[in-house]
Amino acid sequence: MTNVQSSHDKENQFSVTNISTSAPIITTDTATTSTNAKAATPGNNFSYLNQAIIDIENILYKNCIELNQHETKLITLLERSEAMEKNAKQFKKVNKNFNLLKWKQHKCMTSLIVIGSTILTMIIILLLIYL
C-alpha cells in the first residue's frame, strides 16, 4: 500500500498501514458499572469513558480499513484530475494560438480587400478622367 500525501499532510505524518494491519480493539470493561439510576461514581465515569474510547478506536479502525480499500480509487481519481488539468491548460494554449492565427488571417484579408478596393477606385477614376 502506498501513502498519498499532499504538501499539507507532510507535516502530520500519519501512516494508515500501522492501524490497518492491527486487529480491531474489542475489549470488555472490567470496571464496575451500575444499571441503577444512582449518582455517578468515579468507577462509573471511568467505565463510560473507557467504553467511549474503545468505541472511538473501533470506528477509527473501520474508517482506516475502508480508506485502505478505496485508496487505489482515490489515487486513480487524483491522477485523472491532474491529467485533465494538464489537458485543459494545453487546450487553452492551442485555442489561444488558433484564435491569434484566425485574427491574423482576418486582418490580412481585410488589408487585401482595402488595397484591392483602392486600386479599383483609382483605375475607375483614371478611366473617367482620360475618356
pLDDT of residue 74: 85
pLDDT of residue 121: 94
pLDDT category of residue 40 using cuts at 50, 70 and 90:
low
Phi-psi bin for 17: left (phi > 0), alpha (psi -120 to 50), beta? alpha
Cα-Cα-Cα-Cα dihedral sign, residues 67, 80, 3, 1: positive
More reliable by pLDDT, 123 or 43 = 123
Asked whether residue 101 carries a pLDDT value surpassing 50, the answer given is: yes
More reliable by pLDDT, 6 or 110 = 110
